[in-house]
Every structure is written in C-alpha cells, then in structure tokens.
Amino acid sequence: MQHWYALYVNARHEKKIVLKLIDQRIEAYTPIARRMQQWSDRKKRIEFPMLSGYIFVKIDLVDKETILRTPHILGFIKFNGTEASIRESEIDILKSIELTGYDITEEVTDLKMSDDVEITQGPLKGLTGKIVRIQNEDYISIELNSIKQSIRIKVPKTIIKILAN
C-alpha cells in the first residue's frame, strides 16, 4: 500500500528532483511558496520551497531503493529507525497553504509558545496553530507532526480566533 514519505534532498534541487521522479511515474510533491523579493533596482515575485531540503513521495516502501538511486536525494526522514510516514491530511494542508497565496515567510524550527489559534475563514478554515508574532499582522505556525517541521504563514487577524486551553 502506498503512503507519503518525506525525503532529505540537496537544497535548491527540490523542484528538479520532483520533476525527475514524476518522469519515472513516481508521485512526488514539494510545496512551493511565492513572495515579493526587493532588490535595489526592482521587485520580483519569486518561488521557493516551503520546506527547504524536503520533498514528499507517495510509494510502497518496497520501491525505496529506486528512489534512493535518484541523484541529489540524500535519504528518507526516519524516526526511531523507521521511515516517517506522512498523513494524507498533512500533504493536503501543504497543498492548501500553497494554493491560498497567503504570505509564507519561512520555515520555523523553534516555536514560540503562545496562544493556540484556529483559522475561521477561507481555504485554510479549521487549521490550528500557534501565534508566533503579533504586530501589524499575525504569524501562525502550522506544525507537520510527522516530520517535526513547522511552516509560518501570515494571515489577517480577522480570520483567526483564540482557542481555549
């Protein structure tokens, strides 16, 4: 039976590796984010991986050797010596974040513990996370438990509510 698995890959090779795997008829995915980049003479919208150095593949584990022979793939992410299986719902969360166009700022590795919140409107409705910054906008961390990674997204204050502890 096929499951999603996370792989370590060389940074800045994520999109190229996904295309190579798709050419081999392997379902592969890397979430892509977009943001406006400011240079001294211009602004440009750029694409970058939401989780630098990670891609996801949906395979049977018996096919893992085929995956590992692909250039720039460093290995499977493992916990307690076993390949980390990613829930379909977590892949769906990444795809939802990618499709919304919300401002995705960066990967977060050290969460600041604060209020738990829930997104109340839009395509991300029902997602919960932690507030990690409050100024003009709120930044919400969404943790992908199966790979112990978080993504910080910026959403309007008007579409979140504080959850009771």
Task: Compute the distance between CA of residue 145 and CA of residue 128 in angstroms, rounded to an integer.
Answer: 12
Token digits for 165?
């502890």
Q: What is the pLDDT along the chain (165 residues), one digit of tens a residue?
A: 899 999 999 999 999 999 999 999 999 999 988 777 888 899 888 888 888 899 999 999 999 999 999 999 999 999 889 999 998 988 988 888 788 765 554 433 333 346 777 777 777 788 887 776 665 555 666 665 566 777 877 777 767 777 766
Report yes or no on whether pTM surpasses 0.75: no
**Quick check: 37 and 45 in contact, CB under 8 A?**
yes
Domains and CATH numbers, the chain: 3-86 (3.30.70.940), 102-162 (2.30.30.30)
Kindly give the residue spans of alpha helices, DSSP state H, lying in the chain: 14-23, 64-68, 88-100
